[in-house]
Copies of this chain bind each other. A is one copy, B any other.
């Protein structure tokens, strides 16, 4: 077992050290961040059942072997990322709710399962607008204790990269990652990929669950916990362009001369086109070399460059550009929201060369 930085023991929320995260393009399950909203359920693949109901012609109640036999298996490489990744960068602007995630609430894995649409087809799903999901975990949301529940739009649900997954990097899911079955919606915030999946409901509206209705929304900067109107928020599904420096880390003490700077960048629905690195807080920029997996459009990119840093204190900065010429905002203040979601401002790391 590798070591994770634990933000909370119950529910268990933890992320890897950034050096470790950046060491492998495919993130090992042991190094993969964990975000739980309740206790981790004790489930058994031998007895686990998945129900498919709602606006379907043939409600199903499947064992894991029945699910596996339903359609050819598929493996998709995809980033999973918490909507709160990099929240710690927002909190110096003004406090937020939620754990202070560093840029480690993200990882890239190869997920194996069957496409969700195969199960929807087998159940004879109608042309409804939403697909809702329930997990086995019990969570506290909006003052209620409820089973975890969220939904995604039918259009996304029918795309063939959305999987009901039982394996991560060719091994059965670990308990904390959703054993024996989870949803995987590449490009969407982790909240929309429920773990410990027990039921799928086809319906004509988003999930009524407080997890869907009163959480994981992007709210305007003038809204706080006292004044919140959840209907004024944007439901967080796809996530914005982002990038982070993984090494050196904040407050690193370096020797003068060449320093390798490495990190990741991630876009959603569009490719990362360029990554700029600044040795001086954003006054000058150099272009980093990019490593990507062209076979997997939902992969992240790894970038690296070498900076020649003289003695003194330096603010290293990274920003990415996507293929539509979109880039990131410079300052965390520009994206602050009281729930601390979607921190996609330039990532800044102070280092000392001595």
A-side interface residues toward B, CB under 8 Å?
Answer: 218, 220-222, 232, 234, 236-241, 268-270, 273-274, 276, 282, 284-287, 321, 323-331, 334-335, 341-342, 344
Inter-chain contact B237/A323, CB cutoff 8 Å: yes
* Given A269-B270, A330-B330, A330-B331; A325-B236 close (CB under 8 Å): yes
Residues of B within 8 A of A237 (CB): 323-324
27 of the cross-chain contacts (CB-CB < 8 Å) are: A218-B325, A220-B274, A220-B285, A222-B285, A222-B286, A234-B273, A236-B325, A237-B324, A238-B270, A238-B324, A239-B324, A239-B325, A240-B324, A240-B325, A240-B326, A268-B324, A269-B269, A269-B270, A269-B324, A325-B342, A325-B344, A326-B326, A327-B329, A327-B334, A329-B330, A330-B330, A330-B331
Inter-chain contact A287/B220, CB cutoff 8 Å: yes
Residues of B within 8 A of A221 (CB): 276, 285
Secondary structure class of chain A's binding surface, majority of residues: loop
Partner of A326, one of B222, B241, B285, B287: B241
Residues of B within 8 A of A239 (CB): 324-325
Once the chains are docked, how many angstroms separate the CA of A42 from the CA of B328?
44
Which residue of B has the minimal Cβ distance to A236?
A: B325
Residues of B within 8 A of A329 (CB): 327-330
Partner of A240, one of B232, B274, B327: B327
9 closest A-B pairs by beta carbon, nearest first, are A240-B326, A238-B324, A325-B342, A240-B325, A234-B273, A218-B325, A240-B324, A329-B329, A268-B324
